[in-house]
Structure 1
Amino acid sequence: MKGPGIFLAQFAGDEAPFNSLPAIGRWVADMGYKGVQIPTWDRRLFDLKLAAESDAYCDEVKGMLADLGLEVSELSTHMQGQLVAVHPAYDEMFDGGVPSAVRGNPKARQAWAVDQVLMGAKASRRMGLPASVTFSGALAWPYFYPYPQRPAGLVEEAFDELARRWRPILDAYEEAGVDLCYEVHPSEDLFDGATVEMFWDRVDHHPRACLLYDPSHFMLQQLDYLEYIDLYHERIRMFHVKDAEFRPTGRQGVYSGY
């Protein structure tokens, strides 16, 4: 693929041309895009279950996009990956985007999310894609600020549990031959290089635990987004690009201004 790509998640909606893959594909192709990153949780655009089971469906999607001059760059399980690990403080907020059958039931919601991310591996393999993108979810994020003082071992145990939940998923991606790229992002437990390293240590530096690089998230954290590339370039498999600038005022800084 040569040319710019675009993540469709921010644009999907109920109104045309944003309510079907052919229509939104034509819309982005007319603007000069060559690749699309597809959100797999939005059935208006993509049927993840069918893609995980059917070569014919995957060929149909690729062929339709090829007719528009587009390729699929990656499949995204951002929303489902985030639900692999949800702190109870966020249960109500994260119930809105899941099937009604698992709402109000965190254990069932997590099992549904894990199954969705596993289908992402199978669908990516059928689509001939070498990598997929997701979020890590968050068990420790409510405690990211070091006051009130955290009980000893709280963050370590949260990361131990995060690794326990993701390790079998990473093994499934290894079996599928697909890299799983975590978008390092505030509100997720993997939000900077230090937290990524904590996670890697706990999954034995799993070869499929890779990264999506988005410097906008680092800019707003006042993190050196260029040195990050020097440190982690061997694991970066994809990237997002968008404008960001840090403009603190007397009323707002990193937290309320983000």
Structure 2
Amino acid sequence: MKTIKGPAIFLAQFASDAAPFNSFSAICEWATGLGFKGVQLPSWDARLIDLDKAADSRIYCDELRGQAAQHGVEITELSTHLQGQLVAVHPAYDTAFDGFAPAAVHGNPAARTDWARDQVLKAARASANLGLTHHATFSGALAWPYLYPWPQRPAGLVEEAFGELARRWRPILDAFDAAGVDLCYEIHPGEDLHDGATWEMFLEAVGNHPRARILYDPSHFVLQCLDYLDFLDIYADRIGMVHVKDAEFNPTGRQGVYGGYQPWLKRAGRFRSLGDGQVDFRAIFSKLTAMDFAGWAVMEWECCLKHPEDGAREGARFIADHIIRVTETAFDDFAGSGTDRAAIRSMLGVSEGEAR
């Protein structure tokens, strides 16, 4: 067994124009001061990383790694959540998602898709230059507006959507394979890959591509009333990354899974800081350890109540307290009898003279 690495922190929700969150070096120093050992970088945030330069320059990537090491942390992975989302966008979301892309491609979905694809491909090269083995992203969504079938979905719509999704992602997966990096899709509402069933549909559509892996975040399963522990048992061989994020689901007579268009504070299902929600992280860390997950436990902060800096400080300790340092001995080794083969055969009632 292997001991999970961590704690680490996803920096997307913390980067800002205010110090110490406005530069890579300063935010690494801040993270180290809280007890984090790794940082996961949002590749779209130029305050933290220049993706173009990282894709083309190993020297630049070595400098980034050096800055992190100087402050006592490692770069765990890069993320293209925003760019990956734009690989596949239903027209209903064109205006909203234009904000994820540069102004030059606003109002031009085809150009935006090309830009997003190029960004993710650059992230594959940047990950390789940084010596990373896993990458985080979203799948995007073409069928999401048709999630609840009213009016009835026409036959073949879902199959066509996943066929097109696979067509867009297969060349990207091949590029990640060439770079030696696993592409980990966060299973997340709003994406076509939002539960186990949709993951299996996508995996089949991309020919069970060996680089297609899962970014596991139990908070999104709590809000779907999905068994997040059973999910680990089912997809253990495809879990490539983990986001440690808490959530709670408190349905009432007025509101359930869909949320009734309420703001996060008033929703039945909402994200919470680590330890404040309902996720059974002791069971999760036990399962991850037993299945030999050797990656990073990365905190993602999204809480409707608590200040992010308090959530980060508490989250570092929370993860550290849940990481299981694996044992190198069995608990009953003290009672071992040190028997040899002859003794074992004797215990079984098999004599040495019996035919073999």
**Same fold, judged at TM 0.5 (above):** yes
Partner of 1:77: 80
Q: CA deviation at 1:2?
A: 4.1
2:157 paired residue among 144, 154, 163: 154
Q: Does 1:122 align with 2:103?
A: no
Aligned residue-pair number:
258
- CA contact under 8 A between 2:218 and 2:246: conserved in structure 1? no
- Is 1:141 paired with 2:155? no
CA drift of 1:255 comes to 1.2
Moved over 2 A (4+): none
Shift in Å, 1:252: 2.1
Give 1:112's aligned residue. 115
Q: Which has the higher contact order (CA 8 A, sep 6+)?
A: 2
Does 1:22 find its partner at 2:25?
yes
CA distance in 2 between counterparts of 1:126 and 1:39 reads: 16
Q: Supply the distance in 1 between the matched residues of 2:241 and 2:168 (Cα, whole angstroms).
A: 23
Letter in 1 for 2:71: L
Give ranges in structure 2 of 5+ residues lacking alignment: 260-266, 270-356
Q: Quote the Cα distance in structure 1 between the aligned partners of 2:137 and 2:8.
A: 17
Q: Which sits farther off after the overlay, 205-214 or 143-152? A: 143-152
Aligned-residue identity in percent = 68
| 1:164 aligns to 2:196 (yes or no) | no
Given residue 11 of structure 2, which amino acid in structure 1 is its aligned partner?
L
Counterpart for residue 215 of structure 1: 218
SS state at 1:73 partner: strand
What root-mean-square deviation, in Å, do the aligned CA atoms of Structure 1 and Structure 2 show? 1.0
Q: Which of 179, 183, 186 matches 2:186?
A: 183
Which whole-Å deviations, capped at 9, do the CAs of 1:128-159 have from their partners, x for residues lacking one? Answer: 00110100000001111122210111111011
Comparing 77-86 and 139-148, the one that deviates more: 139-148
The alignment's TM-score, normalised by the length of structure 2, stands at: 0.71
Q: 1:17-53 CA distances to partner (integer Å, 9 max, x unpaired)?
A: 1111111111111100000010000101111110000
Structure-2 separation of matches of 1:91 and 1:13: 26
Which residue does the alignment assign to 2:43? 40
Q: Which runs of 5+ in 1 are unaligned?
A: none
**Could you tell me which of 60, 64, 77 is aligned with 2:63?**
60
The TM-score with structure 1 as length reference comes to 0.98
Report what 1:201 is aligned to.
204
Which protein is bigger by CA-based radius of gyration? 2
Provide the C-alpha distance between the structure 1 equivalents of 2:37 and 2:195, rounded to a whole number of angstroms: 30
